[in-house]
Amino acid sequence: MTSFGSHYYGSVSIALSGTSAREAISALILRISSSIALPSFRHNRLYCSNSSAVSAEVQNQEQQHLRSSDLVASEYAELNLSHKFYEDLGHVRIRQHVNPLSSSFSVPAQVPDWYQVFRDPTLPLMVDIGCGSGRFLIWLAKRNPEVRNYLGLEIRQKLVKRAELWVREIPLDNIHFLFANATVSFKQLVISYPGPLMLVSILCPDPHFKKRHHKRRIVQKSLVDSIVDTLMPEGQVLIQSDVLEVAVDMRSQFDEMELLKHIDAYDKTLLCDSEGWLLSNPMGIRTEREVHAESDGAKIYRRMYRKRT
């Protein structure tokens, strides 16, 4: 028997001889085919397994999102807001992160004719900075039609336009929304308002997690100073976040203001935990972000201040 050598494919070894070369080659091809198929089969099984796991995870996330969305819908069910397609808006998609330092947001908002936007512009005013979709503020306005006026400031213009359409549909004459960068426009808007500023809320603002982006956060010293300067005596400021770092950052800036004191010094029914965070929501309604965060098991960190007389 004359040997032609040995051929390896993985751990497969076959000896060839002159008399059985054809049979040996056929056997080799068969074994190679079988060896190739086996890893391919295992790979496919692994792929299918991973694919199933990914699909399950996506499905869980979608179900969680749906549950969270259902909770938001339930929270604001009494408003009966329309979700129809508005031709002039298209589909309203929320861009989560906006850079307020961009030149496109540096132009101050035009001061409206307050007598045109409010039935009675001498009523005390609440301003919600970063009002999002506006549902939270609309709920308050509907509950307090002759008690105070409500102004929502939002940097995402499509949300403002949709909120204004909702206001006209209900309709309400004690609420208005403005496309505005509060850092740039807050003071000039508020000082032009005929009535007193009695409440400012900053609820779950964009956290801008990266350190180099902290300067984009809405709560900066200039805005805090403007709020305190324009707030009426005994007026209030409510801040909250589901991100502890952001809540602490806001708290440190408002705590420094000598004209402000935390609400539990005046109202003992508003209880705080050992760290000084309010234990309950004083507004009677949760924001959408609050609903989403709490449905995920997150804690909401709140502080409420009152201006000294």
- Active-site amino acid positions: 206
How many angstroms separate the CA atoms of 273 and 124, rounded? 31
Assign 3-class secondary structure to the chain. CCEEEEEEECCEEEEEECCCHHHHHHHHHHHHHHHHHHHHHHHHHHHHHHHHHHHHHHHHHHHHHHHHHHHHHHHCHHHCCCCCCECCCECCCCCCCCCCCCHHHCCCCCCCCHHHHCCCCCCCEEEEECCCCCHHHHHHHHHCCCCCEEEEEECCHHHHHHHHHHHHHCCCCCEEEEECCHHHHHHHHHHCCCCCEEEEEEECCCCCCCHHHHHHCCCCHHHHHHHHHHEEEEEEEEEEECCHHHHHHHHHHHHCCCCEEEHHHCCCCCCECCCCCECCCCCCCCCHHHHHHHHCCCCCEEEEEEECC
Residues near 73 by Cβ (< 8 Å), separated by ≥ 6?
A: none
How many angstroms separate the CA atoms of 81 and 18, rounded? 87
